[in-house]
Amino acid sequence: MIRRMVTNPMPQFPAGFLWGVSTSAHQIEGAADVREPSVWDVFTAEPGRVKDGSTAAVACDSYHRYHEDVALLAGLGVDAYRFSVSWPRVDSPGGLDFYDRLVDALCAAGVRPVVTLFHWDLPVALDWLERDTASRFADHVSVVAERLGDRVAKWITLNEPAEHTLLGHALGVHAPGRRLMFDALPVAHHQLLAHGLAVRALRAAGAGDIGIANSHGPTWAASEKPEDREAAEFYDLLLNRLFSDPVLIGRYPEGIGELMPGDVEADLKVIAEPIDWYGINYYAPTRVGAPQGAEIEFGGLSFPAELPFTVREIEDRPVTDFGWPVVPEALTELLTGFAGRYCDRLPPVLITENGCSYEGVDDQERIAYLDGHIRALHRAVEAGVDVRGYFVWSLLDNFEWAEGYARRFGLVHTDFETLERTPKASYTWLRDLLRAQR
Ligand code: IFM
């Protein structure tokens, strides 16, 4: 079945389509001893927070081995590499020198640098419950843009503020480990404000080509029953629209704005600052039903009983090692749905992350996953959605947050003892696909 699917020729994407891979600083860099600490260092030091008890102190050691990573990128033949700058490293003496060297190495290898300015590793002294963190972020962005702006191809303000809010501040399973439930909403607002201020800071520094990387996926009601549909709509509002509506149409979904702190109307004008493209991280759809009065375990997370929805299994679908369902056509659904909802307010779209966790170096399941999703993406392009690029998560197996090193998302295997990198079957498959696209 897999063989038949992957030997059909991949349809051709439009000329200029941007192919890339993604990583983030805390997940790959290591070298924690030469930067300031982040909330993730504090969190991982607390017993029981990370499932395998690991930390990202060394991770893939990309801080020291970035030349190896750049060679892997060049060998893969990607147009672009999405990585994040660690705010605590930028705050450390000489911290920006590392990114300067990395950007130079990428440019020399013909790979365009795409920089994420915040991917969850907040300096320990800061807190997204505080409004001031948004202004501090804009200062950080100005410093980075000033130094790297002459060579960076694209800028991403934030990565997945939805997950950082939900997992880090509402459910407490990511750093900083708060379990505030709906009191975490200000964290979402302050990040969105930070996004808008960052767009302004980037433009003031002369930088262009700016987007955000928001996570999205279709939400499917568990049944046609009104209570399931209502629960699914609420989930969709909280995890999808809460983060796209303010950025794209300058307003919060119904009932949310009044829960946010500060002068929300004025802030929304900042949040809706025009961007050049909209980044979507897509992994899987979610099936949602009415609450069942009990804590639910799902996809490595436990959802408290008091939530007004429950996440349900999507039956009859293969799942990744993480237990996430594999549903490529939901990517077409997501993109056509976005284009329909936001119409001319939606700028060109980039898929800033898509990938899966599987063990093994002969990773035929990953090939099948990527093949299916790239075809689904092409169907969206054929349907008229203006998608301009696709980034695989991730270049390397790396530190998968609360899962530690147990989940392997890489096109390249990392031996976390020796730090040796070994390209997987999917790396070769993607390399050949990219060659055929040119
Ligand atoms: O590893 C993460 C990444 O940091 C953000 N998006 C999802 C990935 C897989 O869980």
Q: What is the mean pLDDT of the chain?
A: 97
Task: Answer whether residue 34 is part of any domain.
Answer: yes
Active-site residue (options: 29, 160, 273, 400): 160
Cβ atoms of residues 117 and 207 within 8 Å: no
The CA 224 to ligand 1 mean position distance, Å, reads 31
Question: For residue 255, what are the domain limits?
Answer: 18-437
pLDDT score of 6? 52
Q: What value does the mean pLDDT take over residues 107-120?
A: 99
| Of the candidates 436, 434, 437, 416, the residue with the CA atom closest to the CA atom of residue 426 | 434
pLDDT-derived band at 4 (thresholds 50, 70, 90) equals very low
Task: Answer whether residue 10 is part of any domain.
Answer: no
Q: What value does the mean pLDDT take over residues 422-436?
A: 98
Task: Answer whether residue 234 is part of any domain.
Answer: yes
Shortest-distance Cα residue to atom 10 of ligand 1: 400
Give the CATH number for residue 124. 3.20.20.80
pLDDT score of 116? 99
Shortest-distance Cα residue to atom 2 of ligand 1: 400
pTM score, whole prediction: 0.97
E strand map for 209-355: 210-215, 219-221, 278-281, 286-289, 296-298, 301-303, 310-312, 349-353
Task: Answer whether residue 9 is part of any domain.
Answer: no
Task: Answer whether residue 4 is part of any domain.
Answer: no
Active-site residue (options: 29, 36, 273, 353): 353
How many percent of the chain have pLDDT more than 70? 98
Query: From the alpha carbon of 400, which atom of ligand 1 is closest?
Result: 1
Q: What angle do CA 89, 45, 214 make, to 5 degrees?
A: 55
Query: From the alpha carbon of 355, which atom of ligand 1 is closest?
Result: 9
Place of tokens 């672009």: 80
The CA 387 to ligand 1 mean position distance, Å, reads 21
Number of domains in the chain: 1
Q: What value does the mean pLDDT take over residues 233-243?
A: 97
Task: Answer whether residue 57 is part of any domain.
Answer: yes
Task: Answer whether residue 7 is part of any domain.
Answer: no
Alpha carbons 315 and 312: distance in angstroms, whole number: 9
Q: Is the pLDDT of residue 326 over 80?
A: yes
Q: What value does the mean pLDDT take over residues 242-251?
A: 98
Task: Answer whether residue 11 is part of any domain.
Answer: no
Pocket test for ligand 1, best of 40, 352, 353, 366 (most atoms within 8 A of CB): 353
pLDDT-derived band at 298 (thresholds 50, 70, 90) equals confident
What residues does ligand 1 touch, defined as CB less than 6 Å away? 24, 27, 160, 281, 353, 393, 400, 409
The CA 377 to ligand 1 mean position distance, Å, reads 19
Q: Is the pLDDT of residue 5 over 90?
A: no
Q: Is the pLDDT of residue 188 over 70?
A: yes
| Of the candidates 176, 180, 222, 184, the residue with the CA atom closest to the CA atom of residue 41 | 176
| Of the candidates 191, 196, 352, the residue with the CA atom closest to the CA atom of residue 274 | 196
The CA 378 to ligand 1 mean position distance, Å, reads 23
> pLDDT tens digits, residue range 30-56?
999 999 999 999 999 999 999 999 999
pLDDT-derived band at 293 (thresholds 50, 70, 90) equals confident
- Greatest CA span in the chain, whole angstroms? 58
> What letter would DSSP give residue 293?
S
How many percent of the chain have pLDDT more than 90? 95
Q: What value does the mean pLDDT take over residues 351-374?
A: 98
pLDDT score of 294? 85
E strand or H helix that includes residue 204? helix 185-204
The CA 296 to ligand 1 mean position distance, Å, reads 22
pLDDT score of 1? 44
pLDDT score of 7? 67
Alpha carbons 216 and 133: distance in angstroms, whole number: 25
CB atoms within 10 A of CB 359: 12
Is-catalytic flag, 353? Answer: yes
Q: What angle do CA 134, 138, 143 make, to 5 degrees?
A: 145
